[in-house]
Amino acid sequence: MAEEVFIPKFGQTVEEVTIIEWLAEDGSLVQPGDELLRVETDKAIFTIEAPSSGVLHRGPYKEGDILPILTVVATIGKENERFESNEQRSDYSEESYKQTSSPESIEVPPSSVPTNDKIFASPRARRVAREKGIPLESIKPSGAGGRRIIEKDVLNAAARKPKWTPLAQKIAEEAGISIESLEIDKARITKEDILNVLEKSQNVKSSEKFDDTFVERTSIKGIRALIAEHLRVSVQETARVTLTLEADASELVSLRSKLKERYESLWGFSPSYLDLIGKIVTTALLIHPYMNARSYQDIVEKYHTVNLGIAVDTERGLMVPVIRGAEKLSLRKFAETLRQLINAARQGTISPDDLQGGTFTITNLGNYDIDVFTPIINYPEIAILGIGRIANRVVPYNNEIAIRPMVILSLVFDHRLVDGAPAARFLQEIKRLIEDPTLWLIESIGEVR
């Protein structure tokens, strides 16, 4: 019996994937572990491998198709077998009987089909149609001589139903446009499609027209659309206030130099400033737990463990991997975990679960020579810390003028949930630990090992 190849679960939050590329040809001989296809979630790209050996029989799915998880996309079996999902086998099996226990599943030979217009549907077809919100009367049947709707008919109808991008759906809802009213022959409706409809209906013409030769248009889709929507929600749902201060990083620079000299050969890498500040922020969150929180409408959840998010720049857009239980990790383990998450995010192999559940986020633009900036809160968290570059500046020191390595910290917080004074105390705590980093090494047992 052929073995099924299905879309596995990629974390608790992923409900559907997009087929990016088939890597094995239909009818080819495959072995366990051979790469069959690549799929994309809203966060990363994954490769699905062959679970067994045999001849690959691909399903009716092509690159660009959006499928729910657990969908059977291929089977592996003998050369004379063809692709059949469990549901299709059930449908075909039902068609081989003249009658089943369900009155709606009565089948008769095509030659004796009654002349009335009643259309039957298999139980599986009815279930899938109900789940996907597709009226049975709108589906063209193919079973029992064109008289009976089977599951593949519902799936074909669902594939023809356009998909909306989140941004397109929001614009359409605000404009009162329904999908049924659109005459757009596309599998995916984007923001540009909705704007074009609005422009035509309102007879609006742009006041600025450019020669297309000098214009490059790129639709907002995929992870870029999700980032845009996430930031929009953050801006609309939070009352943002920014506090900035400057910390003397001399001791931090000295500590990193000593750690690099002592542990680089032992660890295989030297700790970065982001590693050190990440552990410092973790310690400060334990001292001021009201900042280690998430909000949901009128509820605030304060956490006793620190799930620290680290903003990472990737080719696919901004991602925020989460180091869970950061307060329990030694400096070495923290740094190793951070490097693993950053590599996975940039390679497109990070698990969606590693991008969820953060309680506080830090973002560092110091590598880009940025001194100060105002980051956007990673909603539903209630605050985020922006870290600028460590740079030599002329500052007063011990009643004299001195050149010291300084770093500017920017704390953005939701003023609905945290007042200015408590937020300032938290930022002062981070400054204190940066200026005397031995404090958190002493307070956290076994940090350097």
Q: Catalogue the active-site residues.
A: 415, 419
* Residue 236, both tokens: 């609309």
CB 388 within 8 A of CB 372: yes
Q: Residue 29: beta bridge partners?
A: 55
Name the residue with tokens 């939070």: 238
* Residue 251, both tokens: 């001791």
Query: What three-state secondary structure class fits 359?
Result: coil
Spatial distance between the Cα atoms of 114 and 335, rounded to a whole number of angstroms:
72
* DSSP classification of residue 143: B
CB 404 within 8 A of CB 250: yes
- DSSP string of 171-202, one letter each residue: HHHHHT--GGG-----SEE-HHHHHHHHHHHH
* Residue 350, both tokens: 């990070």
CB 143 within 8 A of CB 149: yes
* Residue 407, both tokens: 């770093």
CB 379 within 8 A of CB 237: yes
CB atoms within 10 A of CB 26: 12
